[in-house]
Structure formats: C-alpha cells, structure tokens
C-alpha cells in the first residue's frame, strides 16, 4: 500500500484499505462455530477486535493481565449483545510461569481453538528485565507469545483435524520492525543494558513477531497441518500502548495526523486476517491495511526465522532449568 492509499483510504486488491473498519471487513461473516483466543483483548484495538468477533457470534476468550479491565470489557460487550460469548482468563505474558499456567487452565476447559490472536504488547519502555531475567519488550511481545503458541498448538491441530475448519494464528507486528538493531535480532545481547534502545528493542520484538509467524507457517506446510500463520501491522493508533511515550507521540500525531487511524480502523487488519474467507490457505505473509505487503529483508530471512525459533526454545529451556 502506498502513502497515497494510506492517506486517502483507497482500497487495495482486497477491496479494503486504511479507512476500512473491523466491522466493515467482516460484514456478513458467521463465526458461530469458532473459538478465538486473543491476548490483550481488554483495551485498545484488542478490545475492538474482541467486540467485533463476539458480534459475529464467535466464542472469544480474552487473555489479560488486568482482570478488572477484562471483566469491564466483557460487560461492555454484553451490554451491546446479551448473547455474546466472551470469557476472560488471567495471563501475564512477561512471565513464562504465568504463560504455562494460563495454557494449563485453558486446556482444562476442554474447548476447541480455531483462532489465536497474539495481540498484547508493550512499547518503548525503559530498560527493565522480566521476572525471568529477560529484556521486557522481547519477553512480553515475543517470547511470551512464542511459548503460549507452542503450548496451544496441539489443541489447535486437534481442532483443525476434527472439525475440518482451517485454524489461523495472527501475530500483531508493526511497521516498526524495520527500525531494529544492526543484525536484526541481538541474539548475543538480548539483555545488554549498555546497547539498549527502547525504540530498537521494540522494533526487534516486532521483527520477531513476523519471523515467528513465518517459521510457524513453514512448519505447518511441512507437516501438512490445516493452520495458517500471518503477521499484521494495525497502523498508527493512539492507545495505552503509548503510555511510555505519550508526550512525544502526541507531538508526532499533531504533525502527521493524516497517517493515524481510529481504533475501529486499527482493528480491521487483525479481524480481516482472522476471519475473511478470501485468505483461506494464505500463510506466512505480512498484512498492512488489509492487504499483503512485503516486509523488511530481515523479516523475509528464512534462516533468521529458524535461528530465532531455536534461540527462543533454548531461552525458555534455560529459564525452566533455573
């Protein structure tokens, strides 16, 4: 999509563009038989995604760190549609223990799982380590989702196999993936405080989201599994994600107001990739404004994707042993 299309909202090949809303791109789609799990589905574009999927009759499980906010979000949706199926479960993505406990709790519900939306994240935070001793943006945005996905894969494969319905995994990335460290992923300096840049660390984690989807897709195709994995850039939206840089982002928005979206527009690409029938069988791609776009060279690097996969597994293993 060109800058002209972004500014004007002119539709791309999909028939949708930057001005399209989540409700518009899912119009007429019946999700009655689908169970969706979304991380961070209690605020911002995550909440709008939850709302729209629930209105399309999907059973939506909201995984959230703040249970009060999650329950308030659920109530808002029920006020709009008393028949909406929304449940909430606690999840702190920065904690591998919490991720494991969440997966155990979800699997114990014996629900199917058709769609996994890895939506939650943090942005531009000051240098800090997670409780597992991992740089916080990498831990939350990538590693927590990586482990969560791995722990739920058997459930997704079983659901796809027994229902015949294609499973879909959607990773929320960002155009910020192009602004990362020199080598893309700082494998040897993930926790290095001296070289830490809040912007590049965020870009690194968003690059990891695309590479994760790419390697998942390769594995699914190799195994012949009826599941797709894609990454999306939702666009520039002023949400709680900017809490560490609210002032600078407000100034940026003042000078680039024509590039920003509202929340319903911001949730559109996620909902499109999660539900739209035109994307059946489409996997390993990156979407912007509901249209496929080529990401950075790092994000297209298959060897880097495999290296990140192995690194992530080893990092989780080392935490488990400790």
Residues with active-site annotation: 196
> Which stretches of the chain are DSSP H helices?
3-8, 22-25, 44-55, 67-80, 96-108, 136-137, 144-163, 198-223, 246-255, 263-266, 268-275, 302-321
Neighbouring C-alpha atoms within 13 Å toward the C-beta of 315: 23
Question: Is residue 170 within 8 Å of 177, Cβ to Cβ?
Answer: no
Residue 285 CB partners (closer than 8 Å, separation 6+):
230, 231, 292
Question: Is residue 140 within 8 Å of 132, Cβ to Cβ?
Answer: no
The two structure tokens encoding residue 216: 């998942």
CA angle 18, 55, 268 (to 5 degrees): 10
Question: Is residue 144 within 8 Å of 65, Cβ to Cβ?
Answer: no
For residue 174, the 8-state DSSP code is -
Question: Is residue 277 within 8 Å of 252, Cβ to Cβ?
Answer: no
The two structure tokens encoding residue 170: 């959607």
Other Cβ atoms less than 10 A from the Cβ of 18: the count is: 26
Give strand pairing partners of 228: 168
| H or E element that contains 109 | none
Phi and psi at residue 108, in whole multiples of 5°? -65, -20
């Amino acid at each position: 999509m060109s800058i002209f299309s972004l500014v004007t909202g002119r539709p791309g090949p999909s028939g949708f563009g930057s001005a399209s809303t989540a409700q518009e791109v899912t119009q007429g789609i019946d999700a009655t038989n689908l169970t969706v799990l979304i991380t961070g589905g209690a605020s911002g574009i995550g909440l709008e995604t939850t709302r729209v999927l629930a209105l399309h009759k999907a059973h939506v499980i909201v995984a959230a760190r703040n249970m009060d906010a999650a329950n308030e979000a659920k109530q808002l949706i029920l006020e709009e549609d008393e028949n909406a199926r929304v449940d909430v479960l606690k999840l702190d993505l920065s904690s591998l223990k919490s991720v494991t406990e969440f997966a155990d709790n979800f699997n114990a519900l014996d629900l199917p799982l058709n769609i996994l939306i890895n939506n939650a994240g943090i942005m531009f935070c000051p240098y800090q380590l997670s409780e597992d001793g991992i740089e916080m943006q990498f831990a939350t945005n990538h590693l927590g989702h990586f482990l969560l996905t791995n722990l739920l894969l058997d459930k997704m494969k079983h659901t796809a196999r027994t229902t015949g319905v294609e499973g879909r995994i959607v990773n929320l990335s960002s155009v910020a993936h192009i602004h990362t460290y020199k080598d893309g992923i700082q494998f040897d300096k993930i926790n290095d405080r001296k070289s830490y840049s809040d912007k590049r660390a965020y870009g690194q984690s968003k690059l990891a989201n695309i590479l994760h989807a790419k390697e998942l897709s390769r594995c699914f195709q190799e195994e012949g599994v009826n599941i797709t994995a894609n990454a999306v850039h939702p666009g520039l939206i002023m949400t709680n994600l900017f809490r560490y840089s609210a002032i600078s982002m407000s100034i940026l928005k003042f000078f680039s107001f024509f590039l920003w979206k509202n929340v319903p527009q911001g949730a559109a690409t996620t909902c499109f990739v999660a539900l739209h029938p035109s994307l059946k069988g489409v996997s390993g791609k990156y979407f912007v404004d509901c249209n496929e776009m080529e990401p950075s060279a790092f994000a297209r690097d298959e060897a880097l994707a495999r290296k990140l996969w192995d690194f992530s597994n080893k990092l989780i293993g080392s935490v488990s042993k400790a």
